[in-house]
Amino acid sequence: MCEIITFFSDYWCWIGVILVVILPSAGLSIIKNDMQDTTYSLGKVLFLAQIGVMLYSTNYIGQEYATSRLRATLLATPKRGQLLMSKLAVLTLITGVSFILSMSLAMLVVKLNHQVSWAVIFENSVMLTAVLSWLILTYLSFFASILFKSGIVPLAIFASLILGMSQLMLVITKYAIYLPDLALMNYFSYPTSPLFLSRMCGLIVGLIWLLPLVMLASKRFLCRDVR
């Protein structure tokens, strides 16, 4: 409960959650398309909503470094492993709940705006697997913030990738598909695109990005001074 209060005590975390919940449905309300393109449009707005995911993931721990609140927390809670796990549990819960709310609102918008059958609505439920991409980027942003002892640098890096930097790099080199956001791109596509890695390969690449970062950041958090 204390960690949930800590999360929502930062207004940037609030903004991030609001973005991930509202952006997909707002985007679908604006986009005018045929029903054959609904899944494609849903994938695009869910992909862009990851900016909000990164915003609250980086600021959750980043604002504690910026205000030196983490130092006081560790003095009161010397078991750093338990503290780190509780923060991860809060992030996982918030990301999962936000994704469910975001998908529910998006499906409601599709139903009301396009007057489609429930069969089409359930066809779009294939996008539920996109939560895996959200979770991996949540953990990447969180652990990168620990490594840099700041949320600003990781947010700038990952947000620039989501907003088009990775697509620009893909024009220059085909190896850009192994960047963390593009590796998971097919989780936002139905059917999957041959331009990107398959979902299973993309998940493996995402984990390859994540695991070294987890080990380095965890070691820094658990074993070194947080000042």
With cut-offs at 50, 70 and 90, classify the pLDDT of residue 62: confident
Evaluate if residue 187 carries a pLDDT over 80. yes
Q: What is the pLDDT of residue 77?
A: 64
Give the chain's mean pLDDT.
84
Q: What is the pLDDT of residue 114?
A: 66
Peptide bond between residue 24 and the one before it cis (omega within 30 degrees of 0)? no
Q: Which domain holds residue 51?
A: 2-223
Evaluate if residue 112 carries a pLDDT over 80. no
Evaluate if residue 55 carries a pLDDT over 80. yes
Q: Please count the structural domains in the chain.
A: 1
Evaluate if residue 116 carries a pLDDT over 70. no
Bigger pLDDT: 3 vs 124:
3
Q: Which residue has the tokens 């999957």?
A: 192
Tokens of 100: 């469910």
Q: Are 110 and 116 within 8 A, CB to CB? A: yes
| Lowest-confidence region among 6-20, 90-104, 115-129, 189-203 | 115-129
Q: What is the pLDDT of residue 225?
A: 60
Q: What is the pLDDT of residue 122?
A: 59
What is the amino acid identity at position 181?
Answer: D
Bigger pLDDT: 190 vs 187:
187
Evaluate if residue 36 carries a pLDDT over 70. no
